[in-house]
Amino acid sequence: MSPLLHVETLRIAAGPHAPALVDGISLELDRGKALGLVGESGAGKTLACLALLRLLPEGLHIQDGRIRLDGQELTALTDTEIRRLRGGRIGMVLQNPLSSLNPLMRIGDQIGEAFAVHRGVRGRTALWKLAVEALRAVRIPTPEQRVSAYAHQFSGGMRQRVAIAMNIACAPDLLIADEPTTALDATIRLQVLRLLGDIRRERRMALILVTHDLPMVARFCDDVAVMYAGRIVERGPVEAIFANPAHPYTRGLIGATPRLDGRRRLATIAGQPPSPGSIASGCAFAPRCDVADAGCRQGRIDLLDLGEQRAAACRKPFARPPAEAAA
C-alpha cells in the first residue's frame, strides 16, 4: 500500500542560491502511523511542516522537491485547492495554545469556522452544534456550556485540546503537532499526548509529532526522523533507533536525555548547530562529531540505507568513539 505522505528532496530557502534552511529532506508516512520529527531548535522541523501546507513565512519558498499526499502532488496545486487541503486533509496544532487561538472570538465560532469553510455549514446554531461534538471528541467536560466561552477562560491544557478539536473537526488524514506540549505543565502533557494517541487510533489519522523531547517520541511514535541543520540525518522505527542509534548525533541526543535511574552520566554535545550555508561540504555535524574523520568533511553525505527500514546520513554508522567501544 502506498504511503499517505511522500516527501522527496524538499528544499526550502529564501532564494535559489540562498543558504537552504531545509536541505533536501525525504520522508514517508503511512496512513494511521505516527512519525516523530526530532531535532534542536533551528533544525528546520517546523519549516518543513509549514511547507506541506504552503504556509511558509514571508520570504521563504520551496526551491525544490516533491510532496505527495495520497498520490496528489501538493506543489502543483492552485491556491484554492491548497486551501481546501488545509484543515480538510492536513491539520496543524501549534506550540502555544494561548496565542494560537483568537482571543476575541468565541470558541464555538472558531471551531465552527472549520466546518463553515470545509463543509459549507451556515448559521451559528448549526455550527455550534458541530463545535460541541468536536469538543466532546477531545474530552472537554460540559461542552455545551464551554462552547460560548473565550480562549482565556480555559486552562492551558484545555486550550490545546480546543486547538486539536479545531484541527480534527473535518477529519483530516494527517495531523501535524508542532511541540504541542512544550508550553504546558508537565502534569498536563501526558493527558494531551494520550488524547492525540487515542484520536489517531480511532480515526486512523497519521500524526507527525515535532518535538525535541526524545522520551515522548519513544513512547508515542512508530517511526522517528532526526533532523540536523536542515537535513534528515537518521530515520527508522523507534525501537531500533533508540536501542542502537546509527548516527552520532542521534547517539548524542539520546545520551543527553536525563535518565531517572541516574545510571548514565548526562552527556552533552559540545558546540552549536551551524548557521545555514556555513558548512559548504561534508557532514554538517562533523565539527561536533566524536568519530568524524577527514572523509566526513568532503562531498555530500546522503542517506545510507541500513536495512530494516532504517537509514542514516553517515559514513560510519554505528561507530563509537574508542573509549566507549572499549567500555
Partner 1 sequence: MAPDGLTVATPVVRNQSPPRRRRVRLPSRRGLALWSGVTLLAIIVLASVLGPLTSPYAPNTIALKATLQPPSMLHWFGTDQLGRDVLTRTLYGGRVSLTIAASTVVLAGLGGMFIGIAAAYLGGIFDMAVMRLAEVQYALPAVILAILLVGVFGSGTANVVLVLTLTNWPRFARVIRAEAQSLSQRDFVLLARMAGASRLRIILRHIAPNLRSTFFVLLTLDIGLIVTLEATLSFLGLGVQPPTPSWGGMIADGRGYLDRAWWTAILPGSVLMLTVLASNLIGDALATTAGTERAE
Partner 2 sequence: MGGFLLRRLAGSVATILLASLVIFVLIRLVGDPTHLMLPPEATDDDRALLRQELGLDRPMVVQYATFLFDLLRGDMGESFSYRQPALPLVISMLPPSLMLAGAAMLMAVALGVPWGLLAAYRPDGWADRTGRVFAVLGQSGPPFFVGLLLIRLLSVNWRLLPTSGYGDVTHLVMPAFALSWYSAAGLLRLTRASVTEALRSDYILTARIKGVSDRAVLLRHALRNAALPIITFTSSQFGILLGSAVSIEAVFAWPGFGKLIVDAISQLDYTVVQAGVVVAAVLFIAINLCTDILCAALDPRIRLGS
Which burial class, exposed, middle or buried, applies to 178 when counting CB atoms under 10 A from its CB (0-12, 13-18, 19+)? buried
Number of residues that bind partner 1 (CB under 8 A): 21
Cβ of 153: how many Cβ atoms within 10 Å? 12
Among partner 1, partner 2, none, partner that 45 touches (CB below 5 to 8 angstroms by kind): partner 1
Among 22, 29, 53, 131, binds partner 2 (CB under 8 A): 53
For residues 269 and 39, give the distance between their C-alpha atoms in angstroms, rounded to a whole number. 13
Among partner 2, partner 1, none, partner that 39 touches (CB below 5 to 8 angstroms by kind): none
Nearer to partner 1, 248 or 276 (CB): 276
**DSSP of 256-298, one letter per residue?**
TS--TT--S------S-PPPTT---SS-TTGGG-SS--GGGGS
Report the residue count for the chain: 327
In the shown chain, the binding pattern of residues 81 to 110 toward partner 1, with x for contact by CB under 8 A and - for none, equals: --------------xx-xx---x-------
Q: Give me the least distance between CB of 101 and partner 2, in Å please.
A: 6
User: Closest Cα partner for 182 from 166, 197, 174, 193?
Assistant: 193
Near partner 1 in 140-179, by CB under 8 A: 152, 179
Among partner 2, partner 1, none, partner that 86 touches (CB below 5 to 8 angstroms by kind): partner 2
Characterize 72-106 residue by residue with b for buried, 16 or more Cβ atoms within 10 angstroms of its Cβ, and e for exposed: eebeebeeeebeebbbbbbbbbbbbbeebbeeeeb
Q: Is 102 in the site for partner 2 (CB under 8 A)?
A: yes
Among 167, 181, 211, 250, binds partner 2 (CB under 8 A): 167
Among partner 1, partner 2, none, partner that 166 touches (CB below 5 to 8 angstroms by kind): partner 2
For residues 227 and 202, give the distance between their C-alpha atoms in angstroms, rounded to a whole number. 29
Nearer to partner 2, 94 or 319 (CB): 94
Q: Is 21 in the site for partner 1 (CB under 8 A)?
A: yes
User: Residue written as cell 490545546?
Assistant: 160
Residues with Cβ within 8 Å of residue 265, at least 6 apart in sequence: none
Q: Is 23 in the site for partner 1 (CB under 8 A)?
A: no
For residues 129 and 124, give the distance between their C-alpha atoms in angstroms, rounded to a whole number. 8
- Cα distances (angstroms) measured from residue 156 to each of 143, 147, 231: 16, 16, 33
Nearer to partner 2, 175 or 296 (CB): 175
Among 150, 190, 240, 297, binds partner 2 (CB under 8 A): 150
Q: Which stretch binds partner 2 (CB under 8 A): 77-85, 128-136, 191-199, 297-305?
A: 77-85
Site of interaction with partner 1 (CB under 8 A): 21, 41-42, 44-47, 50, 57, 95-96, 98-99, 103, 152, 179, 229, 272-273, 275-276
